[in-house]
Chains A and B, each alone.
Chain A
Amino acid sequence: MDFGTLIDAALSSALGPQAIVFALAAIGLNVHFGYTGLLNFGQAGFMAVGAFGLAVSVTTWDLPFWVGIAIALLATVVLAIILGVPTLRLRADYLAIATIATSEILRLIFGSVEAKETFGGSNGLTGFSTTYKDLNPYNSGLDLGVVSFSRNDLWSITVGWSLVAISCLIVWSLMRSPWGRVLRSIREDEDAVRSLGKNVFAYKMQALILGGVFGGIAGIFHVLKQASAVPTDFNTTFTFYAYAALLVGGAARVLGPVVGSILFWFIIAGLGSFFSQATSGTDPLIPASIMTDTQASLVRFIVLGLGLMLLMIFRPQGIFGDRREIAIDGR
Chain B
Amino acid sequence: MLLTPSSAMAQATPTPTTPAAGTPAENPLVDGQNITVTLLDVKGGKGEPAPVPGVTLTVFKDKSGGEQIGTQVTDTKGRVSIPIPANGVYVVTLDQDTLPEGVELSGGAENEKTITARISGNNFAQFQIGAAVAEKVAFSEKLTNSVVSGLKFGLIIALAALGLSLIFGTTGLTNFAHGELITFGGIMTYVFNRGFGMSVILAGVCAVIAGAIFGYAQDKILWGPLRRRGTGLIAMMIVSIGFALLLRSVFQYTFGGSTRTLSQYVAQGRDDYGPISLSPKEIAIFVIAIVAIVIVCIAMMKTRLGKSMRAVSDNPDLSASSGLRVDSVITSVWVLGTALTALAGVLLALNQQVNFQMGFKLLLLVFAGVTLGGLGTIWGALAGSLIIGLLVEVAPVISIGGYQPVPASIKDVGALVVLILILLVRPQGLLGRAQRIG
Does B288 make an interface contact (CB < 8 A)?
no
Interface size on A, residues (CB 8 A): 50
Q: Which of A90, A97, A302, A309 is within 8 Å of B239, CB to CB?
A: A309
Choose from B234, B238, B244, B249 the contact partner of A298 (Cβ within 8 Å).
B249
* A112 CB-CB contact with B under 8 Å: yes
B237 contacts A306, CB within 8 Å? no
Measured CB to CB, the nearest residue on chain B to A91 is B437
Closest Cβ–Cβ distance, residue A330 to chain B (whole Å): 3
Residues B412 and A104 in contact, CB atoms below 8 Å apart: yes
Q: Chain A 240-259, CB within 8 Å of chain B: the 1/0 string?
A: 10011001000000000000
| A101 at interface by CB-CB < 8 Å | yes
Chain A, residues 298-331, CB within 8 Å of chain B (1/0): the string is: 1101101111111111001000000000111110
Instruction: Please determine whether A93 and B438 come into contact, CB atoms closer than 8 angstroms.
Output: no
A240-B253 Cα distance, complex, nearest whole Å: 20
From the candidates B235, B404, B416, B423, name the one contacting A104 in the complex (CB within 8 A).
Answer: B416
Task: Please indicate the chain A residues that have their CB under 8 angstroms from the CB of B412 in the complex.
Answer: 104, 108
A113 at the interface (CB under 8 A from B): yes
User: What's the nearest-Cβ distance from chain A to residue B30, in Å?
Assistant: 38
Query: Are B413 and A109 closer than 8 Å at their CB atoms?
Result: yes
Interfacial chain A residues near B416, Cβ < 8 Å: 101-102, 104-105
Whether B234 contacts A330 by the Cβ 8 Å rule is yes
B9 within 8 A of A: no
Return chain A residues, CB-CB under 8 Å to B235: 312-313, 316, 326, 328-329
Chain A residues near B269 (CB, 8 Å)?
A: none
Q: Is the CB of A94 within 8 A of B427?
A: yes
Of the residues A87, A98, A301, contact of B245 by C-beta under 8 Å: A301
Task: Say yes or no: A100-B364 contact (C-beta < 8 A), given A109-B413, A302-B250.
Answer: yes
A243/B241 in contact, CB under 8 A: yes
Decide: A307 near B242, CB < 8 A? Known: A100-B364, A101-B420.
yes
What residues of A have a CB within 8 angstroms of the CB of B420 in the complex? 86-87, 98, 101-102, 105
The answer to whether B174 touches A101 (Cβ under 8 A) is no
Main secondary structure of the interface of B (DSSP, over half): helix
* Contact status B249-A97, CB under 8 Å: no
Check B234–A327 contact: CB distance below 8 A: yes
Complex interface bits, B204-247 against A, C-beta within 8 A gives 1, otherwise 0 = 00000000000000000000001001011111011101111111
Main secondary structure of the interface of A (DSSP, over half): helix
- In the complex, whether A133 has a CB less than 8 A from a CB of chain B is no
- Tell whether, in the assembled complex, residue A108 and residue B253 are in contact, meaning their CB atoms are under 8 Å apart: no
Name which of A97, A240, A244, A308 has the most chain B CB atoms within 10 A of its CB: A97
Q: Would A329 and B232 count as touching, CB distance under 8 A? A: yes
Residues of chain A contacted by B413 (CB below 8 angstroms): 105, 108-109
Asked if A39 is at the interface (CB within 8 A of a chain B CB), the reply is yes
- A108-B410, A113-B409 given as contacts; is B238 within 8 A of A243 (CB)? yes
The interface residues of chain A lying within 8 Å CB-to-CB of B226 are: 313
Residues of B within 8 A of A91 (CB): 437-438
Nearest neighbor of B247 in chain A, beta-carbon distance: A305
Residue A181 is within 8 A (CB to CB) of chain B in the complex: no
Residues of B within 8 A of A98 (CB): 419-420, 423
Contacts of B409 in A (CB 8 A): 112-114
Decide: A305 and B438 in contact? CB cutoff 8 A.
no
Determine if B246 and A104 form an interchain contact, defined as CB atoms under 8 angstroms apart: no
B424 near A: Cβ within 8 Å?
A: yes
Any A CB within 8 A of the CB of B371: yes
Given known pairs A91-B437, A105-B413, the reply for A97 and B245 (CB within 8 Å) is no
Q: How far is the CA of A93 from the CA of B438 in the complex (A)?
A: 10
Contacts of B24 in A (CB 8 A): none
Q: Establish whether residues A90 and B237, one from each chain, have CB atoms under 8 Å apart when the complex forms.
A: no
Q: Which residue of A lies closest to B437 (CB)?
A: A91
The chain B residue with its CB closest to the CB of A295 is B253
Please pick, from B233, B246, B371, B410, the residue contacting A109 in the complex, using a CB distance under 8 A: B410
Name the one of B233, B246, B437 contacting A302, with C-beta atoms under 8 angstroms.
Answer: B246
Q: What are the residues of chain A within 8 A of B247 when measuring CB–CB?
A: 305
Check: A198 CB closer than 8 A to any chain B CB: no
Question: Out of A294, A304, A329, which one reaches B233, CB within 8 Å?
Answer: A329
Q: How far is the CA of A105 from the CA of B239 in the complex (A)?
A: 25
The verdict on B160 contacting chain A, using a C-beta distance below 8 Å, is: no
Interface pairs (25), CB distance under 8 Å:
A86-B424, A93-B234, A94-B371, A94-B427, A94-B437, A98-B423, A105-B420, A108-B410, A109-B410, A112-B409, A243-B241, A301-B248, A301-B249, A305-B244, A305-B246, A305-B247, A308-B239, A308-B245, A309-B242, A310-B242, A312-B238, A312-B242, A326-B235, A328-B238, A330-B232
Residues of A that sit less than 8 Å from B by CB: 39, 85-87, 89-94, 96-98, 100-102, 104-105, 108-109, 112-114, 237, 240, 243-244, 247, 294-295, 298-299, 301-302, 304-313, 316, 326-330
Chain B residues within CB distance 8 Å of chain A: 172, 174, 226, 229, 231-235, 237-239, 241-250, 252-253, 256-257, 364, 367-368, 371, 404, 407, 409-410, 412-413, 416-417, 419-420, 423-424, 427, 437-438
9 additional contacts (CB under 8 A) given A243-B238, A312-B238, A326-B235: A93-B237, A113-B409, A114-B404, A294-B257, A298-B249, A302-B246, A310-B242, A312-B239, A312-B242
